[in-house]
């Protein structure tokens, strides 16, 4: 059984203009049992690429990306090792049902209802929230090319003082997080030891609330703040659904911001010692199965190819690259560094026990200069099947 600290926040993108053609319908061979000529099951992407990458060595061309072949069977991350998007013991098999035609999600309705989105903004890695000031949270409709479509449809200035435990759902916490920094409005700082309630090792989180956000609609969530402290983040895969509403009449979403120090430090620890070049961007995210559970041993492909593709250390409080890893860790994180601005395709493969070599999903997003684009794979998306026969 999966434990999702957040409601299941699906994300999808159906365009194929930069890394595919304009036809968003699924290929004729995208059924439940057939594979493409590369031996990969469930490739639900368009059959042609506008820019076909040149794969090298043993790399597999799948959904217009070059991906290293998996070495180990994929596994779901247990909740004892991560606090969200995890699987309660004993772990269940990797769920690939939404990749098969019989399990594709319903296409979005013509006139979807709206919801109020409420949540916290926390920090990806290091960063002093008190010193960094407030964070602006903006929602945009996503255009066909993965960019923001027009003006923001909702915005809020997230503040530390506004955070109230009674407004938020209970979070799953363990260890020092539960004893020293309990609740949804604060979290344990990285690199803490012997934490006590009086030690000052907790950082407060920002609260935001935005009304009138359409459901079943591909959205982009943008977080930004004082540029001396924070880098811009663009979540390109955000979807909300009416059934996700909490009893208080809102949908909960936990967003993040990234410190300037980590924008510099994470690439350096991945081997990009000069840091991401000015004018370039980066993509990072997680790989989940059809239950929205993090996967270990998944492989990621990105087109255009990044300067560096790296996986992480599996440490939730302080995620940093592990250059020795060749697949996702228990945190399911990857990062693709040094990508030029413009459209980008992300896809993932896994070897699934009893099933075979599987494409876990794909979508196209926009890389923004000097910013991080967050792209998490969560299987087939509703708008990716809206034109299917």
116-136 per-position pLDDT tens digit: 999 999 998 887 788 889 999
Q: What does each C-alpha distance from 86 to 173, 256, 300, 359 come to in angstroms?
A: 13, 19, 19, 20
- pLDDT grade for 34, boundaries at 50, 70 and 90: low
298-313 per-position pLDDT tens digit: 999 999 999 999 999 9
How many other CB atoms are there within 10 angstroms of residue 370's CB atom?
A: 16
Give the range among 82-91, 234-243, 254-263 with minimum mean pLDDT.
Answer: 82-91
Q: What does each C-alpha distance from 354 to 93, 94, 101, 329, 351 come to in angstroms?
A: 9, 10, 18, 21, 9
Instruction: Name the 3-class secondary structure at 90.
Output: coil
187-229 per-position pLDDT tens digit: 888 877 667 666 778 899 999 999 999 998 999 999 999 999 9
- b vs e for 202-216, b when ≥16 Cβ sit within 10 Å of the residue's Cβ? bbbbbbbebeebbbb
- pLDDT grade for 3, boundaries at 50, 70 and 90: low
pLDDT of residue 20 exceeding 80, the answer is: no
Q: What is the CA radius of gyration of the chain?
A: 20
Tell me the mean pLDDT in the region 239-260. Answer: 92
What is residue 106's predicted lDDT score, i.e. its pLDDT?
A: 86
pLDDT of residue 7 exceeding 90, the answer is: no
Contact status, residue 356 vs residue 383, Cβ threshold 8 Å:
no
Closest CA to 48 of 60, 64, 34: 64
Higher pLDDT, 238 or 284: 284
- pLDDT grade for 273, boundaries at 50, 70 and 90: very high
pLDDT of residue 72 exceeding 50, the answer is: yes
Backbone angles phi, psi at 156, to 5 degrees: -155, 150
pTM value? Answer: 0.89
Composition of the chain by helix, strand, coil, percent to 5: 10, 35, 55
313-352 per-position pLDDT tens digit: 998 878 899 999 999 999 999 999 999 999 999 999 999 9
Could you state, in order of their start, the residue ranges of all structural domains in the chain?
2-27+34-62+85-163+205-307+319-352+371-384
The rounded percent of the chain whose pLDDT value lies above 90 is 67
Q: In what order do the strands lie in the sheet with 342-352?
A: 299-303, 342-352, 356-367
pLDDT of residue 114 exceeding 60, the answer is: yes
What is residue 181's predicted lDDT score, i.e. its pLDDT?
A: 87
Q: What does each C-alpha distance from 8 to 163, 215, 231, 251 come to in angstroms?
A: 22, 13, 26, 10
Phi-psi region of 166 (alpha: psi -120 to 50; beta: other; left: phi over 0): alpha
Higher pLDDT, 69 or 384: 69
Q: What does each C-alpha distance from 216 to 43, 102, 104, 253 come to in angstroms?
A: 23, 20, 14, 15
Q: Which residues pair with 301 in a beta bridge?
A: 347
């Amino acid at each position: 059984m999966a434990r999702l600290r957040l409601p299941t926040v699906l994300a999808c993108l159906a365009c194929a203009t930069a890394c595919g053609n304009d036809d968003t319908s699924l290929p004729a061979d995208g059924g439940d049992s057939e594979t493409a000529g590369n031996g990969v099951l469930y490739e639900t992407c368009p059959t042609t690429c506008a820019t076909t990458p040149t794969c090298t060595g043993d790399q597999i061309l799948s959904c217009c990306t070059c991906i290293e072949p998996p070495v180990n069977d994929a596994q779901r991350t247990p909740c004892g090792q991560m606090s969200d998007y995890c699987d309660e013991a004993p772990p269940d098999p990797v769920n690939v049902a939404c990749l098969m035609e019989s399990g594709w999600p319903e296409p979005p309705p013509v006139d979807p209802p709206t919801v109020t989105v409420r949540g916290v903004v926390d920090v990806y890695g290091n960063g002093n929230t008190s010193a960094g000031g407030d964070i602006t949270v903006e929602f945009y409709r996503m255009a066909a090319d993965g960019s923001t479509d027009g003006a923001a449809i909702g915005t809020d200035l997230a503040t530390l003082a506004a955070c109230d435990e009674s407004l938020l759902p209970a979070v799953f916490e363990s260890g020092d997080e539960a004893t020293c920094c309990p609740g949804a409005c604060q979290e344990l700082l990285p690199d803490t030891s012997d934490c006590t309630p009086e030690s000052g090792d907790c950082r407060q989180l920002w609260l935001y609330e935005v009304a009138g956000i359409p459901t079943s609609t591909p959205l982009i969530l943008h977080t930004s703040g004082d540029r001396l402290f924070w880098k811009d983040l663009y979540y390109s895969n955000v979807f909300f659904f009416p059934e996700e509403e909490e009893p208080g009449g809102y949908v909960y979403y936990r967003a993040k911001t990234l410190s300037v120090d980590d924008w510099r430090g994470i690439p350096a620890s991945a081997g990009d010692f000069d840091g991401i070049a000015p004018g370039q961007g980066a993509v990072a995210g997680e790989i989940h199965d059809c239950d929205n559970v993090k996967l270990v041993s998944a492989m990621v492909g990105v087109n255009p190819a990044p300067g560096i593709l790296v996986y992480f250390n599996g440490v939730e409080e302080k995620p940093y690259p592990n250059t020795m890893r060749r697949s996702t860790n228990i945190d399911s994180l990857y990062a693709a560094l040094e990508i030029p601005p413009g459209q980008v395709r992300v896809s993932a493969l896994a070897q699934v026990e009893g099933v075979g070599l599987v494409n876990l999903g794909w979508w196209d997003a926009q890389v923004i200069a000097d910013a991080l684009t967050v792209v998490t794979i969560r299987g087939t998306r509703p708008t990716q099947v809206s034109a299917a026969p």
